[in-house]
Structure 1
Amino acid sequence: MLQRVVVLSNGSIKIFAGSTGKVFAERMCKYLGIELGRADVMRFSDGNIFVRAGETVRDKDVYLVQPIGMHPNDEFVEILFWMDAFKRASADSVTAIMPYFSYAKGDKKDEPRVSIRARVCAESIELAGADRVVTMDLHSPQIQGFFKKPVDHLFAMPVLCEYIRTLSLDNLVVVSPDAGFAKQAHKFAAELGASVAIGDKTRSGHDERAKVLELIGDVQGKNALIVDDFSISAGTLVDLVRVLKERGAQRIDACLTHLMLTEEGVRRLEESPIERVIGTDSVDNPYLAHSTKIKLVSVAPLFAEAIQCIHSRESMSPLFTKVPDKVFQSSVL
């Protein structure tokens, strides 16, 4: 098989980082063997944000790395300013790299007098100048339809599954916390050769508290792997661990794409019977640093590969199912 070779040192590509995307962008640049673009972000005492590229971007393909994560409102507005700055500086194309898109949770009008927040964000990012968006594991995949410009929707599952295999867990059951993530749980199970169990949870309001009412599937005597796209308070996760233990599960691990955990959420995990929580570095979360149960796997190399595909105008489809060995070797932090 011929190996794809992409030359990125010709200066036509520039990767810049927003205020909360620098670590992720640096990992991408290290993988690609290029320098991170010089950039300045200033916050004034009244809360205003100022952005400035520190080098020319005229006729360049520009990639701006900034998750909408721990500080969603500031990060979203900053993306808008960056898109506008690059376009006004005559960049040939501008791509917004959002490893996590927080407002993906606001995907529908399910009650009177509410905003479809994801659509508002999508339209604003495009109007500000984005020619393309690259993101990962959207809470609602149909959000891609809110954009008129191309959206590349990556999946963390191939990288996470490669890491899970290194744990050599036998007699494994993949557990979805609710029916909404069941389809993705079946994909994890198929990849890992495991069975599936599905939780039944209820949420009474717009808060982050949900309660697991029932569990569908056999977990007796098995090692359980809970899979989900994100967690904030860890309430559902810890409640599901309780139910799994009551049903006779042995070792319990969790696999989450986006670790949006609060300080209280990390504390809940530390005090729970869960063995390990495996997640990605899609958001720069300071509360994870001192946890003994959280293991991060970087998806920056996966995004770097995606940039190579975009830049060389090649198909990105192979990244959806199997990551190259080089990507996984660079992913383990």
Structure 2
Amino acid sequence: MPNRPKNGPRPHAFQPPQGQLALIAGSANKLLAEKIARELGVSQTPSEAHYFSEGNVFVRVLENVRGRDCYVLQGTHHPVNDNFMELLFWIDALKRASAQQITAVIPFFSYAKGDKKDEPRVSIRARVCADAIEAAGADRCLMMDLHSPQIQGFFQVPVDHLYARYVLCDHIKTLGIKDLVVCSPDIGFAKGASAYANYLGVPVVIGNKTRRNHDEKAEVLELIGDVKGKNVLIVDDFTISGGTLMSMADVLLDRGANDIYAAVSHGVLSKGVAPRIAKSNIKQLFMTDTIEPHNDPLPHNISVVSVARLFAEAIQSIHDRTSISQLFPDGTIGLD
């Protein structure tokens, strides 16, 4: 045994600097994690996730993270429950490995629609998920475009909320589309559409839709505003079936609009949707890379705009203990 002070520290083969940033990629967002790592100028922390034949998942961090500032990137899109459980296991693994701080980076929080008890005998699913993430040991969360921003209040830990509209709008500005009008497909996203319109410096119109049950296709009933002779950008936080966007496009053309574009933060796109969008009246659909396409190849009229730099800047800001608000150029935090 080497001589050392009676109460002195034990020697270790490797002692990472206290608080050194560690980026761990879950199974759900491998490509986005690679881009974020490049933007940060760091290497991903080695890790592995193995799914067994009966559905169990095993996760392991392959490097010492004791005392480090850890960011685990794992969205909760399809397969939703598998990805959510994997997220919990990553948080637990890091906690048990004595990470200094654990931030759950969740590009798409799929249970965000379950934010209220609007029917008898139903669960407030977003609250259950928030409780589970905290119980697993997360110290804070970093998310993008929650369906309902008030979900941040379900968490006792800090939640940093990013907005994809800045990245999407900056890309749309490069296209030089003339006579542009922003359109919300329903009243619920009216504030979000106004934020898009303010950033782009264009007018906004509002649609009104109805859906009788969870599985029924939404029907656009009316449009508030004039789109005759205009190019229109339909905006929403996510699309699963594409039905709302395509129905809205049909209504806009009937009202005399020219070209129809659409922009969504999260392209969930269930199976068969991408081919239908390819044949629709939508000239171009812009979406971010918070979700990796998993059902169909993307057609010519769907473009992916990366949010890797925005996530990297947010992670660096959290790590450096600086304000996230500096990432919002127009200062319209909380409009949607």
Instruction: Tell me if both proteins adopt one fold, taking TM over 0.5 as the criterion.
Output: yes
- Matched residue SS, 2:272: helix
CA contact (8 A) 1:137 1:155 kept: yes
What does 1:188-267 correspond to in 2, within 5 Å? 188-207=196-215, 209-267=217-275
The RMSD of aligned alpha carbons is 1.6
State which of 152, 162, 171 in structure 1 corresponds to 2:170.
Answer: 162
**CA–CA separation in structure 1 for the residues paired with 2:230 and 2:99:** 54
**CA–CA separation in structure 1 for the residues paired with 2:170 and 2:298:** 24
Q: Could you list the per-position Cα deviations for residues 99-149 of structure 1 after superposition, in whole angstroms to 9, with x for gaps in the alignment?
A: 000000100001111000000000000000100000000000000000000
What does 1:1-333 correspond to in 2, within 5 Å? 12-207=20-215, 209-287=217-295, 289-321=297-329
Q: Structure 2 unaligned segments of length 5 or more: list them.
A: 1-16, 332-336
Quote the offset at 1:288 in angstroms: 5.6
- Matched residue SS, 1:70: coil
**CA–CA separation in structure 1 for the residues paired with 2:316 and 2:262:** 31
CA contact (8 A) 2:24 2:47 kept: yes
Q: Structure 1 unaligned segments of length 5 or more: list them.
A: 1-8, 324-333
**CA–CA separation in structure 2 for the residues paired with 1:299 and 1:170:** 25
Q: Normalized against structure 1, the TM-score is what?
A: 0.92
Quote the offset at 1:286 in angstroms: 2.5
CA contact (8 A) 2:218 2:244 kept: yes
Q: Could you list the per-position Cα deviations for residues 182-229 of structure 1 after superposition, in whole angstroms to 9, with x for gaps in the alignment?
A: 011111111111111111000101125211011111000000000000
Length, aligned pairs only: 316
CA contact (8 A) 2:199 2:330 kept: no
**CA–CA separation in structure 1 for the residues paired with 2:98 and 2:18:** 18
- Matched residue SS, 2:27: coil
Q: Could you list the per-position Cα deviations for residues 44-102 of structure 1 after superposition, in whole angstroms to 9, with x for gaps in the alignment?
A: 11111100001111000110001111211001101111111000011111100000000
CA contact (8 A) 2:28 2:74 kept: yes
CA contact (8 A) 1:208 1:235 kept: no
Q: Normalized against structure 2, the TM-score is what?
A: 0.91
**CA–CA separation in structure 1 for the residues paired with 2:55 and 2:276:** 33
**CA–CA separation in structure 1 for the residues paired with 2:61 and 2:279:** 44
Quote the offset at 1:10 in angstroms: 8.7
Q: Could you list the per-position Cα deviations for residues 225-281 of structure 1 after superposition, in whole angstroms to 9, with x for gaps in the alignment?
A: 000000000011111111001000001100100000123211221111211000100
Off by >3 Å, runs of 4+ in structure 1: 287-290
Tell me: CA distance 1:117–1:49, structure 2 relative to 1, closer, same or farther (3 Å). Answer: same
One-letter amino acid matched to 2:73: V
Quote the offset at 1:320 in angstroms: 2.1
- Matched residue SS, 2:28: coil
**CA–CA separation in structure 1 for the residues paired with 2:168 and 2:297:** 19
Q: Which moved more, 1:62-71 or 1:142-151?
A: 62-71
Tell me: CA distance 1:208–1:58, structure 2 relative to 1, closer, same or farther (3 Å). Answer: farther
**CA–CA separation in structure 2 for the residues paired with 1:117 and 1:152:** 20
Quote the offset at 1:27 in angstroms: 0.5
- Matched residue SS, 1:145: helix
